[in-house]
Amino acid sequence: MPTGLVFNIQRFSLHDGPGIRTTVFLKGCALNCAWCHNPESQLPQPELVRLMNRCIRCGRCNEEELSDPMVRGRDETDVEQCPTGALQSVGRECDAAELAAEAARDRVFFDESGGGVTFSGGEPLLQAAFVTETMRLLRADGIHTALDTCGFARWPDLLAAAANADLILYDLKLIDDARHKATTGVSNQLILQNLASLSEIHSNIRVRIPVIPGFNDDAQNLEATAAFVASFPGLRKVDLLPYHPTGEAKFARVGKEYALHGTPSPSEARLEELAEPFRLRDLAISMGGGT
């Protein structure tokens, strides 16, 4: 039974697929997006985070070590000694059967709302065998599954996971490769190729575009994105996800600077304007992640 590293299980989610959902967040991501909602997900191992609003600087922990991402998580003794609970460990290991059973506890809400379980992160396909087996167990139990991926993964891993996902939420950030690499730290060639291949074998894919002012909301990028998506008959649904600073406070917890401080969320009128290139190509557009 494959094991994996989970850092959060969020119940009663409404924006990660249809109905009421339980969203499982997994550790590890190859991308380094400035707007990341879950910077504590990026390292592929357990780590310590510090809630500054609780910290009284009592001196019981080694602050120099906590600021080093290669050290965080090696020793959880500080967590036990912290008098205010400011130090917390992020990431716990479990096996696929254990996780499937834990997620299935919310089945009554899934059945009533048409919901299910969504796997997110981080990038869940960094733990492909674990995620694929957990989804297989859930589907065998009649529970709807969704995979939320950035697509930066080996094709065999994506293919195996897709075979056990009722819905795939596929993130597209930037079409230009140089801009994508400058913004996220990786090329988008694998991401685009995987989406093209996936569109040929999976019938329920929603392309998700985070709208980040100053990063990817320009007409050139959105026109190119709409043209790319529309070129594949299997891709007809697009979600525009407006930026919001959900992750800002979390960056300080993991010792990182937040580059988008003060960036406003796009207005409804602005989102409608950005949706036009997609509508002109007969793509179904929704604002936000609910389906």
Hey, what domains does the chain have and what are their CATH numbers? 3-46+94-287 (3.20.20.70), 47-89 (no CATH)
Q: pLDDT per residue over 188-225, tens digit each?
A: 999 999 999 999 999 999 999 999 999 999 999 999 99
Q: Assign 250 to helix, strand or coil.
A: helix
The pLDDT of residue 240 is 97
- The closest of 191, 180, 125 to 157, measured between CA atoms, is 125
- The closest of 179, 154, 148 to 34, measured between CA atoms, is 179
Q: pLDDT per residue over 143-174, tens digit each?
A: 999 999 999 999 999 999 999 999 999 999 99
Q: pTM of the full predicted structure?
A: 0.90
The structure tokens listed for 232 are 């594949």
The helix or strand, by DSSP H or E, that contains position 145, with its residue range, turns out to be: strand 144-149
